[in-house]
Structure 1
Amino acid sequence: MNRFLNLAIGLAILFTSCKNEKETTIATKEQQPMNILFIAVDDLRPELNFYGANHMQSPNLDKLADESLVFDRAYCNIPVCGASRASLLTGLRPTRHRFINYSTRADKDAPQAVSLPNFFKQNGYTTISNGKIYHKRNDDSLAWDNIWFPKGNIRDYQLEKNRIENGDANLAVAGAAAFEMAEVDDTAYFDGEIAQKGIADLKMLANKKQPFFLALGFMKPHLPFNAPKKYWDLYDRAKIELPESYVQPKSTPKQAFHNFGELRNYGNVPKKGNLTEDLSKELIHGYYACVSYVDAQIGLVLDELKRLELEDDTIVVLWGDHGWNLGDHKLWSKHSTFETALKTPLIIKVPGKTKGQKTNAITEYVDIYPSLVELAGFDAPKNLEGQSFMPILNGEIPEKDWAVSKFKDAVTLIKGDLFYTEWTKDDGIAFARMLFDHKTDPLELDNLAEKPEYQETVNQLAKELRAKWGKDFFKIES
């Protein structure tokens, strides 16, 4: 009797063991790598409700932020679109001779780099680029299974007057306006088309077993500030004010300012001098309208992600390629090393991990590549110059507490509350300097760099800047 009882118990244990092993095997097979929805927004300032502002309407971005980790101190590595995107997507810093301007190509400036999308493609992901991801549409073309961009003139005017005056020019020309308010549907402009293409791709990808890296590059609020009239109607221009920092102090080096040529090219903008208050407020109004327009398009994509039951399996990361001056320091556009040009919106939603947390940890855009790779469960390539922000996602204090950004001859070290900028040539010797303490001067109006009592601080920051701007800073690519 005992022998039969022992045999029965043994068979039961064996059955249970086999059952558990089978269940474990099935769970492992069903566990897929996380998808990545990679959303880029051109010229988006971190001037949104979830950053403490209350004058722009962006309900969909606000909702995404409530489900994400919000980076309160994220900085681009160079404030110009082509170079910023190439740097972010390769995980490499700009140097004096690499990633310079808007026309930068990653595949020419860093031909040996395995880009972020190419890394995921090599690891079994379907990779799709829609809209403006790289500045040049065919840059890094081998990284993508598919590249799509809306057909038509890049200025994307809908009003006949602007279309005629712009002609076939893809760059701004003398006649066409810097903004337009048109009675059209959302899909009339490129961003509406990009959203619809993203939605169609999500439907297609939902039926595939492969994980995906789906990149959507929205065009607004880049100039010209063109948006359907209903988004202009969200705002009362009489309530729009010029920024508090609408001043250029004499203590600030002249090299810090520019003539904002990107805006001057448009027909209704004077070629020199300060803009009138009325024109300034009209431009700000147009910028706000474009932010609300692109917010609505992103909302459609995120709604589809949820409808397809993909959101629990998809990391969503949203970023702007750099800041943008809206009259700050009497400047417009980017192309400077003031915080208004360097500080960027960055939010990341990780299913089961994020729920509206915020971090003040200093993060720079070269950190995005290694972070996404680690989140997906892979080892990052060895040559990346950023550091993963996974410790921040895990609620830890990161080791790195600094960022470095540059534009032309200016290089900025951001450390704690201090913003230190040097203008140098290839000899590395500073010919102008700028230091702001954001604890006492968040608007960057009091340059401390030449004050005697700050010379020890300046000397220390100068050493740190050189140690942190990257080992290849002066290298000329062969």
Structure 2
Amino acid sequence: MAVLLGSLPAAEKPNVLFLFGDDLTWKGVHALGHEDIDTPNLDRLAARGTTFTHVYNPGGWHGAICVASRTMLMTGKQLWRARDAEPKLNQDYVAANKLWPQRLAAQGYRTCFSGKWHIEADHKKVFAEIRHFRPGGMAPDGKNAYFRPVEGKPDTWSASDPEEGGFWTGGEHWSAVVADDFAEFVGEKDERPWFMYLAFNAPHDPRQSPGEVLDRYPMSRVKVPANFLPLYPYREAMGAAKGLRDENLAPFPRTPFAVQTHRREYYAAITYLDAQIGRILDTLEKSPAAANTYVFFTADHGLSCGEHGLLGKQNLYDASVRVPFLVVGPGVPAGKKIDAPVYLQDAMPTVLKLAGAPVEADINFQDLRPHWEDKGTARDAVIGAYMDLQRMIERDGKKLILYPKAKVARVFDLKADPDEMEDLFATPEGKALAVPLFQRLLEIQRESGDPLDLTKDFPELAAGGSGEKSR
């Protein structure tokens, strides 16, 4: 008879190391997207464990997508339920010991945090130990970091100069600080199983790294993305115009030079992050905890860095909603790739199960263990949302994006068109794809508590393909 993990002595329960990037698109790991980017340590993590290749963040209810992502992760609530829970986190969740680390502490876990928090809950009551706490959504802002660079003019910003502040505020780059915190933590004597949540701020802007790392990416090495546009045609309707902070990082209209510069800095920030993760992995491998530790690596959401003429994460293209997701640990197959659609917040119930904690009915996400154990899963599609301005569903390699205010629908066949460049909606093929995707989206909206009524803006899709055109 199998022994339930929850009945094991504390010393036999696994440790969990959760590594969390910020603004890191799935393509930012070389082993996943084959971009010309150096991520040797994340690549070795992928080789040692299982990679989920189609992992999504469900979206956000305002421009700070990281707040929604992290609130979902901590509560286990799907997007709109997490939004409703946000004002009451301290009252209804922290006080009741219902946030993710608190549920693990109830199973005898030592819980520790370092890095970015950015949710409306008192972190001091959520984790037993705090190493470094970064309260805001980003490093201190760079005054010279916006609407740059302009070709032919001196750049206003240096991504490698510590005098700019940002990630060097306090004297040491914040990515290195997190790695230092892990080395200190894992070297301490404590017999309890542990959960350590290391939330990097990188590669969020200001995208800074040491000069020697930035020098690895001369402009000649950095390509403009295939789906580059000077201006996205629906930027106003989708809420990605000049009023959105992320989009103000580069000048309008976008230029290849500006996009190459931003991608260069983005790649360097990822490579420096990767080096710090390498330090963490090396420290773990040398410790007695190594044999009984699960390592999860993912990010709160992705980022468009020139794709479609966009610079932020407030859109529903794959660069922005899709993230890396790597798992290593006892019983996790090495080198396995799983293409089932999952959410990054599925990490929460997965870790609870590994720790022997109950996954209660109020948790809206799914345990991922059946995927790597080849026992099947239930989810057939994932959805995304941004405020009341955008909706998305992706199912079986087909994707529908909706902009309700403009009454615009876009359809993509991602298997044939992974860069989402050929909108099929106006074609018979696209209409045939859009109708069942729309109907499934409506079903998931009802299941997940999404209050937006799409049927009035897209009557043709709501009627199953008959009626007047919706664009």
CA-CA distance at 1:315 after TM superposition? 0.7
Where in structure 2 are the equivalents of 1:304-315 lying within 5 Å? 304-315=283-294
Deviations 1:255-275 (A, max 9, x none): 347236334555xx43xx223
Q: Deviations over 1:120-156 (max 9, x none)?
A: 0122111111001x31485454221123436899865
Residues 31/154 of structure 1: CA separation in 2 closer, same or farther (3 Å cut): closer
* 1:7-406 alignment runs, 5 A limit: 29=9, 32-47=12-27, 48-78=29-59, 80-95=65-80, 98-99=82-83, 107=89, 111=93, 114-132=98-116, 134-136=117-119, 139=122, 141-149=124-132, 165=143, 180-182=159-161, 188-204=172-188, 207-247=189-229, 255-256=237-238, 258-259=240-241, 261-263=244-246, 265=248, 269-270=250-251, 273-406=252-385
Query: Does the C-alpha gap of structure 1 residues 108 and 239 become closer, same or farther in structure 2, counting only changes over 3 Å?
Result: same
State the match for 2:464 in structure 1.
none
Does residue 397 of structure 2 align to residue 420 of structure 1? Answer: no
Q: How many positions carry a matched residue from both structures?
A: 425
Unaligned runs of 5+ in 1: 1-26, 167-171
> How many angstroms apart in 2 are the aligned matches of 1:180 and 1:45?
20
Q: Within 2, Cα distance between the matches of 1:246 and 1:30?
A: 52
Contact 1:150/1:194 (8 A) holds in 2 = no
What secondary structure does 1:99 align onto? helix
- Specify the SS of the correspondent of 2:13: coil
- Name the SS for the 1:70 alignment partner: strand
Deviation of 1:219 (Å): 1.1
For residue 30 of structure 1, report the CA deviation from its aligned partner.
Answer: 7.7
Going from structure 1 to structure 2, the CA distance change for 1:121 and 1:181 (only over 3 Å counts) comes to same
Do the aligned residues in 1 keep the contact of 2:230 with 2:255 (CA within 8 Å)?
no
Q: Which amino acid aligns with 1:92?
A: K
In the alignment, residue 444 of structure 1 is paired with which amino acid? E
Q: 1:381 to 1:113 in 2, by over 3 A?
A: farther
Segments of structure 2 that go 5 or more residues without pairing to the other structure are 1-6, 149-154, 453-471
CA positional deviation for 1:250: 8.7
How many angstroms apart in 2 are the aligned matches of 1:106 and 1:341? Answer: 28
Residue in 2 that maps onto 1:17:
none
Quick one: distance in 2 between partners of 1:250 and 1:280?
14
Amino acid across the alignment from 2:75? T
Provide the C-alpha distance between the structure 1 equivalents of 2:10 and 2:239, rounded to a whole number of angstroms: 56
Encode CA deviations 1:225-283: one digit per residue, 9 max, x unaligned.
111111112222212111000137998786347236334555xx43xx22333222111
Q: 2:438 is matched with which residue? A: 462
- Report which stretch shifted further, 141-150 or 323-332: 141-150
Amino acid at match of 1:311: A
The Cα of 1:336 is off from its aligned counterpart by: 0.3
CA distance in 1, matches of 2:330, 2:338: 18
Instruction: Return the index of the structure with the highest Cα Rg.
Output: 1
The amino acid that maps onto 1:200 is E
Match of 1:169 in 2: none
Aligned residue in 2 for 1:443? 419
Matched-pair contact (CA < 8 Å) for 1:156–1:189? no
Change (3 A) 1:465 1:54: closer
- When structure 1 is superposed on structure 2, of 233-242 and 221-230 the one drifting more is 233-242
Contact 1:311 / 1:351 at 8 angstroms: preserved in 2? Answer: no
Distance 1:72 1:471, change over 3 A: closer
CA contact (8 A) 1:257 1:331 kept: no
Q: Please, what TM-score do these two structures have when normalized by structure 1?
A: 0.79
Contact preservation (8 Å) 1:105, 1:136? no
- With normalisation by structure 2, the TM-score equals 0.81
Aligned twin of 1:474: 451
Deviations 1:98-138 (A, max 9, x none): 539xxx66826974782211210122111111001x31485
Cα distance change on mapping 1:109 and 1:433 into 2, 3 Å = farther
Secondary structure of the 1:86 match is helix
C-alpha distance 277-231 of structure 1, shift in aligned 2 (>3 A)? same
